[in-house]
Structure 1
């Protein structure tokens, strides 16, 4: 089975000794994120995020289908992840790695179980027709902190996505194209984001946004998921390092500041994309036709 290239003993000792001396290899502060770049595709619901050298693309799509028998008034929302072999030698098509299992589990709890998306708004005809919303997470380059990057990409894609408008006449459902009617944004109740804390030196050193090299030498991690209002959606711990209860409270305080900053950044990028779309699209095409 393919594996990630492991660090040598000298590299491990060098990173750990640097952390003891309050130094990170890339010069960042312990609580600093790498540079975040976020862009959106031509279609609604495609978000491309780069967190340092880590790159993830999230794509949201929708189709009309039949709801689950026990959830007649709810639409369907599923999350699927794909780890490309070009992102890391440890990833193999058709074989789940531990990173993929953890990522799927965290996103499932963060988005679906926290009811971030109002699935009732996806219902078209109770017990007969509903929207099936599918989110695909594609990992294109892996340099650490996949959970945080994937969650940012997914939330941004969900906020950016517009589902087709529909008209219901009895049992007949008409789905309108973008040219026929303006698509409808999703009903999001809140926007949870994940912040990962990596622990070193028996819990004395805590890092945010660890790179791949830093992840390979950490003793444990704590993932805090919360929204910008300070509501904690989940706390997950992996690894053997013990974490004090008071340290967890400190983590939630730090996570809140980061979540608020990232949420503001996502909104700014969404507003910028909306302005670009206002300059073109259907309205510009109609005005051009009127001028002719």
Structure 2
């Protein structure tokens, strides 16, 4: 089975010694993220995130379907991850690695199970018709920090997406096109984001947003998911190193600051995209058609 090329003994020793001297290979502070870039596609619901050399694209799609029998008043929302072989030699189509399994679990708990999306707003006719929303996460380039980048991509894509409006006549639902009526934003209840901490030297040293080389040297990782209001959605730990409770509390304080910064950054990009689309765009065209 293909796997990631293992880091050499010399590289491992060099990184560990540098960390003991409070130095990261790229010169960042221990609690600093790499440069974050976010771009939206021409269609609604496509977010392209670059975190350093790591690149993730999330795409939201929707269709009308029958709701689940046990959730008659809810729509359907699912997250699907896809690791491209061009992102890493360890990734192979149809054979999920441990990294892909962990990413799927974290995104599931962080976004879907925390009720970030109001699924009741996706219901069209109770028990008969609803919107089925799907978030496809494509890993394009892998240099560490996949969980953080993927969570940013999915949440940004959800906030950017617009679902079509619907007219209900009895038990019949008519989906309107963009030209007939302006699409509707999704009902987002809160914006959870992930911050990953990598631990070294039996928990004495921790890094935020580790690169791939730093991830291969770490002893454990802790993923803290919270929203900008300080509400913790989940805390996940992988690896054998023990973590001091006070250190964990410190992680949540750092995560809150990072999540607030990322939330403001996402909102800024959403506002920029909205301004680009509104200049003489769809709204102007709809107004002209209504006037005629």
Report the Cα offset of residue 286 of structure 1. 5.8
Per-residue CA distance 1:23-62 (angstroms, 9 max, x = gap) = 0000000000000000000000000000000000000011
Gaps of 5+ in 1: none
Q: What's the counterpart of residue 223 of structure 1?
A: 223
Note the 1:1-292 alignment, pairs <5 A. Answer: 1-285=1-285
User: 1:33, 1:48 → 2: CA distance?
Assistant: 17
Per-residue CA distance 1:157-188 (angstroms, 9 max, x = gap) = 00000000001010110100111100000001
Q: With structure 1 as the length reference, what TM-score do the two structures score?
A: 0.97
Give the secondary structure class of the aligned counterpart of 2:43.
coil
Give the secondary structure class of the aligned counterpart of 1:216.
helix
Report the Cα offset of residue 285 of structure 1. 4.2
* Contact in 1 for aligned 2:162/2:186 (Cα 8 Å): yes
Gaps of 5+ in 2: none
Report the Cα offset of residue 289 of structure 1. 8.5
Give the secondary structure class of the aligned counterpart of 1:3.
coil
User: 2:9, 2:43 → 1: CA distance?
Assistant: 47
User: 2:108, 2:124 → 1: CA distance?
Assistant: 24
Tell me: CA distance 1:113–1:289, structure 2 relative to 1, closer, same or farther (3 Å): closer
Q: With structure 2 as the length reference, what TM-score do the two structures score?
A: 0.97
Per-residue CA distance 1:85-109 (angstroms, 9 max, x = gap) = 0000000010000010000000000
Report the Cα offset of residue 281 of structure 1. 2.5
Report the Cα offset of residue 283 of structure 1. 3.2
Report the Cα offset of residue 246 of structure 1. 1.2
Per-residue CA distance 1:211-258 (angstroms, 9 max, x = gap) = 000000000000000000000000000001101111111111000000
Give the paired residue count.
290
Give the secondary structure class of the aligned counterpart of 1:16.
helix
User: 1:4, 1:73 → 2: CA distance?
Assistant: 44
User: 1:208, 1:260 → 2: CA distance?
Assistant: 15
User: 1:70, 1:285 → 2: CA distance?
Assistant: 42
* Contact in 1 for aligned 2:179/2:286 (Cα 8 Å): no
